[in-house]
């Protein structure tokens, strides 16, 4: 199957298999099965395509599957007037040309038998085994999915659960949809539009995610023709007008071929025409199309190292367009795609885009997971499993699909699941970031350190306090770029939770669902923050917002707790101010805030003077036991560390804090300024007596030149 323009009249610039005449196949199929010693004529083309990818394939099972499918569908007709058997034959041919293995092709021939005939799953299992039965059952469940708008949320959840356990099920479904789209012309226009919209919104993004570009591109063109017929016709006319003997890509391709031959690099140089939607996108981006915009050069080599050798020769002998260079070999895309992308300037200033890949990379680029064979084939050298398991671990499953299956279990609300799925599939670009242990994380473009933390640590990311990006300290809201190295930093206080602000920075379904779920399980955790915002907002009883908003960290997440502080009103709720985090034996002063609670500050805190200037009456406050000791709950303190920037600084500081038996409640790291970094930690100590030792330990960290208690300045005026 060609991955190029879907128009059967569009010229191809490479050899391709002619499209099979399905009406002729229908007549052949009506003759019934043939003798057992030879392959039926109706599937000889499938066998030919299959043997091209798998020379040693056993075709006996295909013959038996065809005989069962033909006999069970006999008498059934498609709306186009063809015998129904032509549909499973066409679907199987699509998969065979993509390189699918024999089990997938067998299931493809049988994929409608259980749904539309008297054949049962037990019969399929008895005649063809567990794997074929599993695939047929999965496709049958998909056929029952109602694509109507009202049914979308829950039915698509079921669809993903059914197919996610074996990507071959989705491969068969995509090939099935492609053949149905090819023959959609017999249906009413409104039904064509409905099917095309579902194909556009869900199935095409899934094809992209599975890396099956050959299916994706033709589906795009077919949807384009149905939903945007005028633009489709304009694009078709442009492609037809550009077809001629004077193709600038031909000249550049010849130059590239001679250049690589002279360099001793064995390579095949092809011209790869753009499909209709690709041409349309280029036209919208650039306005007026150039002669080289209707295709790209494809260079195929034998080994990975040859790809970089080709790149070196092209950049040496031609003028490269550096901004167009992308290396998807060192960092493959989320859908298994690998290639080097570049662009070079040819004769007379013509710019040609060039794709460089090995033959295997090209196969995977075209067919995605279909080209990777049977993921469950047993390795003869591997030890057999002691116990069978219903869980099917698919080694070819892309990481995004595993993540999707994980978060769909967490999204208990179907509407939330559907909205999140649509948003996730709408992400047409992913980035790859590197972990410090050498692993990688695939994230959508625009993802932040919050997303990286949840992608790497799951629910443990609730305790995240910051991150290191490319060796530099960064806030959790930092947006990541392709190729960044990220190291999320977690607090030792496992009881802490996320901040509501994280939802503003989370882009991945996993992060958003985990954060939302945490607050659903802890409904009281966000209340102190909301109370503070209400009590301390600008204009509220004249209280300075900048000073009182800093009280929030001491009250958030944990709710009311023992403070070890006594005030004149024994029934008042007492809170320690986050701006100065008093600890024994600090001298104290309190102020009543909205709701009758008393916020207690260190006497020298700038907020105290600001409160008195606006006429707020102080409240007498003292430590409970009179000896400067807090209760068994321990004490909180906010420390500010001033340091010079260096590698592993944050790691060394957090290690010093942990050694002093202190727990990090929250932390912020300001962007470096003139190689200096300012860290602010809110810590919980078991005893205030350990504070001096903690501050000494932090000062002893290399690069730290000062550690002090927090003294947030009061606002002017």
Give the whole-angstrom CA distance, residue 382 versus residue 219. 40
Specify whether the backbone of 635 is left (phi greater than 0), alpha (psi in -120 to 50) or beta: beta
On the question of a cis peptide bond just before residue 474, with omega within 30 degrees of 0, the verdict is no
3-state class of 685 per DSSP? strand
- Do 256 and 297 touch, CB atoms closer than 8 A? yes
- Give, in order, the Cα–Cα distances in Å from 303 to each of 34, 267, 361: 45, 10, 10
- Give, in order, the Cα–Cα distances in Å from 39 to each of 44, 69, 225: 7, 14, 38
- Do 686 and 634 touch, CB atoms closer than 8 A? yes
Q: Is 313 a catalytic residue?
A: no
What does the block give as tokens for 354? 């060039």
Q: What DSSP element (H or E) covers 676?
A: strand 676-685
Give Cβ neighbours of residue 444 (< 8 Å, ≥ 6 apart).
424, 427, 429, 430, 431, 451, 507, 508
Give the whole-angstrom CA distance, residue 489 versus residue 703. 19
Count of other CB atoms within 10 angstroms of residue 287: 7
- Give, in order, the Cα–Cα distances in Å from 253 to each of 187, 208, 247: 43, 28, 10
- Do 341 and 325 touch, CB atoms closer than 8 A? yes
Q: Is 116 a catalytic residue?
A: yes
Give the pairing type, strands 485-490 and 464-469: antiparallel
Query: Active-site residue among 7, 116, 154, 304?
Result: 116
3-state class of 576 per DSSP? strand
What does the block give as tokens for 678? 């300012």
Give Cβ neighbours of residue 410 (< 8 Å, ≥ 6 apart).
510, 513, 514, 517
Query: Active-site residue among 7, 48, 115, 137?
Result: 115
- Give, in order, the Cα–Cα distances in Å from 142 to each of 109, 214, 415, 419: 16, 21, 20, 20
Report, as residue numbers or ranges, the catalytic residues.
Answer: 115-116
């Amino acid at each position: 199957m060609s991955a190029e323009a879907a128009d059967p009249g569009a010229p191809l610039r490479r050899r391709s298999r002619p499209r099979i005449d399905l009406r002729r196949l229908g007549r052949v199929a009506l003759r019934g099965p043939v003798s057992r010693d030879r392959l039926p004529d109706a599937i000889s083309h499938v066998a030919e395509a299959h043997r091209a990818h798998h020379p040693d394939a056993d075709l006996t099972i295909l013959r038996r599957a065809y005989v069962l499918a033909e006999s069970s569908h006999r008498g059934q007709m498609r709306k186009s007037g063809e015998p129904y058997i032509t549909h499973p034959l066409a679907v199987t041919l699509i998969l065979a040309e993509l390189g699918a293995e024999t089990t997938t092709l067998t299931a493809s021939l049988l994929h409608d038998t259980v749904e539309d005939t008297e054949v049962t799953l037990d019969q399929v299992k008895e005649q063809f085994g567990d794997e074929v039965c599993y695939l047929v059952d999965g496709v049958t469940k998909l056929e029952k999915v109602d694509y109507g708008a009202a049914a979308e949320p829950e039915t698509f959840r079921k669809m993903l659960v059914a197919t996610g356990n074996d990507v071959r099920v989705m491969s068969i479904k995509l090939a099935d949809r492609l053949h149905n789209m090819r023959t959609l012309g017999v249906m009413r226009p409104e039904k064509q539009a409905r099917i095309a919209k579902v194909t556009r919104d869900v199935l095409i993004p899934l094809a992209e995610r599975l890396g099956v570009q050959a299916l994706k591109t033709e589906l795009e063109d077919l949807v384009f023709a149905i939903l945007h017929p005028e633009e489709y016709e304009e694009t078709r006319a442009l492609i037809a007008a550009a077809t001629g003997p004077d193709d600038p890509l031909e000249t550049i391709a010849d130059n590239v071929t001679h250049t690589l031959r002279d360099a001793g690099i064995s390579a095949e140089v092809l011209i790869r025409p753009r499909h209709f939607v690709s041409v349309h996108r280029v036209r919208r981006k650039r306005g007026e199309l150039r002669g080289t915009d209707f295709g790209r050069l494809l260079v195929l080599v034998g080994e990975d190292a040859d790809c970089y050798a080709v790149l070196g020769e092209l950049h040496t002998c031609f003028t490269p367009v550096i901004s167009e260079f992308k290396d998807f070999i060192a960092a493959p895309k989320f859908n298994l795609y690998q290639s080097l992308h570049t662009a070079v300037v040819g004769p007379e200033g013509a710019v040609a885009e060039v794709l460089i890949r090995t033959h295997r990379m090209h196969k995977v680029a075209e067919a995605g997971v279909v080209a990777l064979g049977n993921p469950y084939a047993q390795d003869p050298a591997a030890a057999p499993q002691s116990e069978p398991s219903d869980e099917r671990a698919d080694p070819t499953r892309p990481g995004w699909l595993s993540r999707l299956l994980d978060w769909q279990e967490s999204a208990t609300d179907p509407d939330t699941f559907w909205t999140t799925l649509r948003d996730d599939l709408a992400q047409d670009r992913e980035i790859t970031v590197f972990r410090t242990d050498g692993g990688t994380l695939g994230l959508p473009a625009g993802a932040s350190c919050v997303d990286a933390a949840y992608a790497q640590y799951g629910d443990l990311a609730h305790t995240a306090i910051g991150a290191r990006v490319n060796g530099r300290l960064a806030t959790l809201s930092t947006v990541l770029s392709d190729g960044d190295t990220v190291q999320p930093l977690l607090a030792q206080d496992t009881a802490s939770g996320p901040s509501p602000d994280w939802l503003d920075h989370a882009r991945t379904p996993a992060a958003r669902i985990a954060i939302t779920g945490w607050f659903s399980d802890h409904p009281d955790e966000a209340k102190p923050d909301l109370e503070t915002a209400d009590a301390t907002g600008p204009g509220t009883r004249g209280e300075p917002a900048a000073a009182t908003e800093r009280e929030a960290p001491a009250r958030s997440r944990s709710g009311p707790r023992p403070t070890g502080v006594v005030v004149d009103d024994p029934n008042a709720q007492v809170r320690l101010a986050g701006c100065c985090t008093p600890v024994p034996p600090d001298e104290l002063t309190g102020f009543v805030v909205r709701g009758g609670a008393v916020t207690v500050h260190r006497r020298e805190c700038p907020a105290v003077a600001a409160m008195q200037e606006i006429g707020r009456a102080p409240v007498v406050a003292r430590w409970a036991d009179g000896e400067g000791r807090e209760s068994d709950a321990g004490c909180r303190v906010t420390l500010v560390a001033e340091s010079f920037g260096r590698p592993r600084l944050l790691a060394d500081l957090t290690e010093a804090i942990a050694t002093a038996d202190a727990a990090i409640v929250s932390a912020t790291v300001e962007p470096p300024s003139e190689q200096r970094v300012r860290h602010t930690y809110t810590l919980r100590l078991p005893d205030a007596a350990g504070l001096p030792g903690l501050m000494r330990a932090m000062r002893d960290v290399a690069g730290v030149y000062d550690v002090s208690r927090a003294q947030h300045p009061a606002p002017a005026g």
